[in-house]
Amino acid sequence: MLRFVSIDPTPTTTGALSGAYLVGKDNVAIAGEVTVCDGIIVCEKGTTEAVAIAVQLDLDQGRLDQLGSDIVVEGVRLAPLGTWTLQTCLLPQRESPYLLVLELARHRIMMFLTKLEDWQAIESTEGTLPMRLFDIARESFIQAMVCAPDSILPDSKAAKLALRALWIALEASERLALQQAERDFTPRNDGSMYESIESEHTDPAKRKPILHPGRGGVMLPFKPAMGSVVSPNIFAPMTQDAIARSCDFITVPMRWTEMEPAEGEYDYSKTDRWIEWAIRQAKIQVVGGPLIDFRSTSVPEWLYIWENDYETLRELVYEHIKTLVTRYRRTVTRWTVCSGLHCGEHFKLSFEQMMDLTRICVLVTRKLHPRAKIQVEITQPWGEYHTHDRSSLPPLLYAEMLSQAGIQIDAFSLRMQMGSYRPGLQTRDLLAFSAMLDQYAMLDRPITISSLGVPTSKISPKDNLPNHPNAGMWRQPWSEALQADWLSAYAAVALSKPYIESICWHELADPTGSTDMRTGGLMDIKGLGRPALDRMTELRTAVAESKLPPTWSADALLGSQNAPT
């Protein structure tokens, strides 16, 4: 059992701590229960090994007031950071409770140093603002460690010093992530990063992905592409114009419930018109799928009859993929063959069934369309779901098992949405996002981000669901302006990675039906473009020119927090 002293001086929560879960080695979520009572967080775990806890933390103005008002560090005025999911280091059991905020600060300092080493950026960042902020955070952390043995109460001196260390370390972390993105963006997109390792082939047509000798992962010899998911139900001149100026490709989702609403009765009309427009008029590529996705928004009602009959389900999956790939193999260039099978969402599959169904999805598509690129989509990439569902597979383990099984996949795709109460969609900071991408790069395959997005307003459940996690927010409450800044920052980080093949925004326009995120489109429900649409266009130009806009500095994207001197 692990115990932590909560960060709140006057805790109001009793019972299960929503949004919290336990993490074991290699950042794999493990079985356990996290509760809170009288300000003490209790972690019940099924192992004697050291574990970490991941929790959602409100880093709002009220929390900042605990440190004082108008705090300026190295010319940066500290401001609210939002509501983020953070974690501690692996901790052994002990009789006395840990001070939560101190352990969160310890992990962030460790992550900062780890990424400096991974990126081989220790010398290049010396004396920069992120490093100066980090040095101050580390000094404050050491002072908190000295005070901690005397008192670990939430309002103690140790707690305040630890909170100050955490706040400054988080600010330094996001600035480091953006600084590294700015440094890598040009050499990654103009090809010089690739050429510095592989200079043998001067003909771009002969270049192939290679392994990065220093940082791990593959290096791609071509620029990353940018696209958006289009809803088959929304097809209008305004949406077509938006795609034409901001995207290199479109993703047509092909949800089973829309393609085959009644068993054996397919409706291709809405999907056909988007694909026909993309191929004949826009002259852009089409990504199809996910073909198999067992989320509630994708599964037709009639399929639930067979959820406990795997053999029949397997045959239905085979026939469904065969039907769609055969119809669209002359127009689709890349297939997302399945999504989230590792989560066991709605349809509970055993390990063998997960692997078998994934293999079928890949093999059938490969046989019918051998020239197409094939990718498997990973949902909830941090794997929080695994702590509550032991029949599921951790996402990285699922990907590693596919690789070891010899299943021929061209890329892994990540579903990266934030800002929703739904499982796995809570808000993470820029450095955590960047580190997660680097972890998946170790699979030594190209990575695509198949669904990148956040909302423009707060998303809450319609029903008063107990213990649902907080959606979180990034620095400010969600708005159209914040959505644009989030897109700029997170997409810039992703597009600076040499292994990222493409990114795709999760919705072109706000949908009218069921969706993960009701207000997450580049356009509103009336078809009017949001600021994020302009940012997509700017980012596409930046990739083409291999240079980020000078206005996309850390100060601009992180809230213009520089204090006057």
d(CA 560, CA 248): 31
Return the ∠ at Cα 210 (arms to 206 and 213), rounded to 5°.
145
211 has a pLDDT exceeding 80: yes
Rounded Cα gap, residues 123 and 86, in angstroms: 27
Rounded to two decimals, what is the model's pTM?
0.95
Predicted confidence band of residue 464 (pLDDT cuts 50, 70, 90): low
- 377 three-class SS: strand
**Mean per-residue pLDDT, 351-361:** 96
pLDDT of the residue at 565 = 38
Backbone angles phi, psi at 58, to 5 degrees: -80, 115
Does residue 562 have a pLDDT over 80?
Answer: no
Higher pLDDT, 11 or 454: 454
Lowest mean pLDDT, pick from 83-92, 150-159, 391-400: 150-159
45 against 288, higher pLDDT: 288
> Taking the domains of the chain in order of start, what are their residue ranges?
2-181, 210-459+468-557
Q: In what helix (H) or strand (E) does residue 285 lie, and over which residues does it extend?
A: strand 285-288
- Percent with pLDDT over 70 in the chain: 95
Q: Is 98 left (phi over 0), alpha (psi -120 to 50) or beta?
A: beta
Indicate the range of 36-45, 344-353, 389-398, 465-474 predicted with least confidence.
465-474
pLDDT band at 155 (very low <50, low <70, confident <90, very high): confident
pLDDT at 164 over 90: yes
**Mean pLDDT computed over 321-326:** 97
Tokens (6 digits) for 9? 């001086």
pLDDT at 138 over 80: yes
Q: Which pLDDT value is given to residue 296?
A: 85
pLDDT at 389: 83
**Which pLDDT belongs to residue 16?**
85
Q: How confident is the model at residue 213 (pLDDT cuts 50, 70, 90)?
A: confident
Which of 34-38, 204-208, 241-245 tops mean pLDDT?
A: 241-245
pLDDT band (50, 70, 90) for residue 297? confident
Average pLDDT over residues 237-243: 95
Range name among 46-60, 144-158, 317-331, 527-541 with the lowest pLDDT average: 144-158
Instruction: Return the pLDDT at 497.
Output: 96
Cβ-based neighbours of 170, under 8 Å, separated by 6 or more: 59, 81, 84, 108, 429
For residues 86 and 55, what is the distance between their CA atoms, to the nearest angstrom?
A: 6
- pLDDT band for position 513 (cuts 50, 70, 90): low
Above 60 in pLDDT, residue 232? yes
pLDDT for res 471: 86
Cα–Cα nearest to 45, from 35, 60, 37, 57: 35
Instruction: Give the pLDDT band of residue 292 (cuts 50, 70, 90).
Output: very high
Residue 492 tokens, joined: 């810039």
Residue 83 dihedral angles phi and psi, to the nearest 5°: -125, 110
Structure-model confidence comparison of residues 200 and 263, the more confident one? 263
pLDDT, the chain, mean:
90
Determine the Cα–Cα distance for residues 325 and 337; give it in Å rounded to an integer. 10
Locate tokens 């949405």: which residue? 417
**At residue 224, what is the residue type?**
P
| Average pLDDT score over residue span 47-73 | 89
- Residue 302 neighbours by CB under 8 Å, 6+ apart: 262, 263
Which burial class, exposed, middle or buried, applies to 410 when counting CB atoms under 10 A from its CB (0-12, 13-18, 19+)? middle
- Cα maximum dimension of the chain: 72
Mean pLDDT in residue range 318-332:
97
Q: Which 8-state DSSP code applies to residue 450? A: E
pLDDT in tens, 18-29: 889 999 998 899
Cα-atom radius of gyration of the chain, to the nearest Å?
Answer: 24
What is the per-residue pLDDT for 449?
A: 98
Give dist(CA 394, CA 26) in Å, integer.
Answer: 11
Does 57 score more than 60 pLDDT? yes
- Say if residue 564's pLDDT is above 70: no
3-state helix, strand, coil in the chain (%, to 5): 40, 20, 40
| Confidence band of 561 (pLDDT split at 50, 70, 90) | very low
The larger pLDDT score, comparing residue 464 to residue 476, is at 476
- pLDDT at position 196: 85
What pLDDT is attached to residue 12?
62
Q: Is the pLDDT of residue 462 over 80?
A: no
* Position 56 pLDDT exceeds 90: yes
**DSSP string of 313-328?**
HHHHHHHHHHHHHHHH
The DSSP secondary-structure symbol of 224 reads: P
Secondary-structure class of domain 210-459+468-557 per CATH: alpha beta
Closest by Cα among 376, 385, 433 to 409: 376
Q: What is the pLDDT of residue 506?
A: 94
